[in-house]
Amino acid sequence: MAESAYGGLAAGEQDPAAARAVPETAPRCRSAREPAARTYARALPIVPVRARGLTIEGADGRRYLDCASGAGTLALGHNHPVVLEAIRKVLDSGAPLQVMDLATPVRDAFVAELLRTLPHGLADRARVRFCGPAGTDAIETAVGLVRAATGRTGTITFADAADAHADAAARAGVDSHDDVDADAGLTRPVVTGPDDSRGTRRARRPYPPDYRCPFGLGDQRGAELAAWWTESALDDAASDARLPAGMLLEPVQSGGGVAPAPDAWMRRMRQITAERSVPLIVDESDTGVGRTGAFWAVEHSGVTPDVMVLSKAIGGSLPLAVVVHRADLDTGESGAHTAFRGNQLALAAGTATLAHVRENRLAEHAAALGSRILTRLRELAREFPCIGDVRGRGLMAGIELVVPDGDPQPLDERTPADRAAPPARSLHRPRPAAPELAAAVQRECLRRGLIVGLAGRRMHVVRLLPPLTISEEQAAAVLDRLADAVQTVARDHAEQAPSRHRRRPGRHPR
């Protein structure tokens, strides 16, 4: 059998022994049972059977470099020895595996290690609340916490944030007839989404990404205007005695397209919320545990939040979610939780992961290697016009795909907040997003033995989330495969360009 240039079997080849291990009807059954909803199984048609570190082996015998890392849950990669050892230790001890949130030695060890890593301003007066296995449980708990503590309703969230932010705000107690905009006193134009099933409109403040700035400005000017926009809304709310219960934001919008918040904007959000006694909730589900080059992403800006939402990597590959908050916000209300908030295996795996990242300074490794990865990706962007932007922080990188021969986004197609911005001398108008090109890059990567994810409002951003244990050599292999995939997609798009230009508007080829 031929060897691939990337190691292992060549693309398209199978290990006969591995192939025989899978029933012949299995693919057909999987296809028949797969829902129509967008799932990873549809985008990544592989069947993992073994994994270690960065590498996954499929049932067909092919090996893949995994830069999705379970959507960021695998800080140490697959089946890291310290995680497996921690899990086996609990299993061999005979300890109960599920005791809700009762105190156990495993739970105590997790809390002690977590407090050791938190920002000092929060760790000194923190309470740790176990709420459920998913980040959505933690967000709902955090929103309910600040509502109970302040006696107010309404939560400020931001455009392109995780859907869980608006959903959790609604589930945490916003009445089905309330309007989140009015409830929070947001009387100025806001970025809104569709109504949810409970009739609660999702209202979000402008977030300041540089490339697709909602005000068409970008850089520091866009961030300053976004901060002013939010501050003005809060001042309007204060004049009506209708301040919101809290503000919920992400230091890097991972699912929103890997958009890092400017440090100055983060500090401004902390300042305006503190001045108005509005608790600041920071969601570190995607960014925590060293991912961005600091143990917690808020450390880049020096911000100390009132509440932190933690999930994904803190469970060491197993489901776990926690809310850490200031002691004075604790009203004694139980908040949202499930019966699975005390999973002993997840707590043990999480403790091992937190300690390993801290002791081996993997956040510093993520910062250094991530910087070199972003430099290489930006070189790639200069070579291929279909890459509109490269952004990220640490080992969280996003490559935005755009239509290389498309016209810049017309101003009349921008969002309400965009159109409400004051006129600028030179508006930044990026080219249209190209989700079809991003999907093509993902497919070509998979053909070359590389697993990447997609993110962004239109799923037009290729997202890299390698484990923090990735080496220089492995990173080079990842970038080589990605560059090859982008080159193929760019070439195919260029070859199809003449036929696209020959079509008349409103006409379709036969």
Q: Could you give the CA distance from residue 480 to residue 478 in angstroms, rounded to a whole number?
A: 6
Tokens coding 175:
């009445």
Are 247 and 158 within 8 A, CB to CB? no
| Sign, Cα dihedral of 330, 132, 198, 419 | positive
Q: How many CB atoms lie within 10 A of CB 48?
A: 14
Enter the tokens of residue 376.
């290489």
Among residues 309, 302, 202, which one has the least CA distance to residue 249? Answer: 309
- In eight-state DSSP terms, residue 407 is P
Q: What distance in Å separates the CA atoms of residue 248 and residue 189, rounded to the nearest whole number? A: 19
Per the structure block, which two tokens stand in for 373? Answer: 């990865």
Backbone angles phi, psi at 330, to 5 degrees: -80, 110
| Residue 278 to residue 126: CA distance in whole angstroms | 18
pLDDT value, residue 334: 60
Burial (CB count within 10 angstroms: exposed 0-12, middle 13-18, buried 19+), residue 325 = buried
- pTM above the 0.85 mark? no
pLDDT of residue 505: 45
Q: Do 344 and 97 contact (CB within 8 A), yes or no? A: yes
Return the DSSP state at 9. B
Tell me the C-alpha to C-alpha distance, in Å, between residue 126 and each of 111, 148, 337: 11, 17, 19
Tell me the C-alpha distance between 330 and 108, whole Å: 20
Contact at 8 Å (CB) between 261 and 251? yes
Under-70 pLDDT residues of the chain: 1-38, 162-203, 237-241, 334-338, 409-428, 498-510
SS (H, E, C) 153-191: CCEEEECCCCHHHHHHHHHCCCCCCCCHHHHCCCCCCCE
Tens of pLDDT along 276-288? Answer: 999 999 999 999 9
**Who's near 12: CB < 8 A, 6+ residues apart?**
none
Question: Which amino acid belongs to residue 63?
Answer: R
At residue 172, the pLDDT reads: 53
322 near 287, Cβ under 8 Å? no
> What tokens appear for 263 in the block?
């440090």
Contact present, 96 and 107 (Cβ < 8 Å) = no
CA neighbor of 465 nearest in space, from 354, 299, 313: 313
Cβ atoms 373, 464 nearer than 8 A: yes
Cα separation, 450 vs 65, whole angstroms: 5
Residue 115: closest CA among 285, 269, 314:
314
Judge contact between 399 and 479, C-beta under 8 A: no
Element (H, E) at 234: helix 219-239
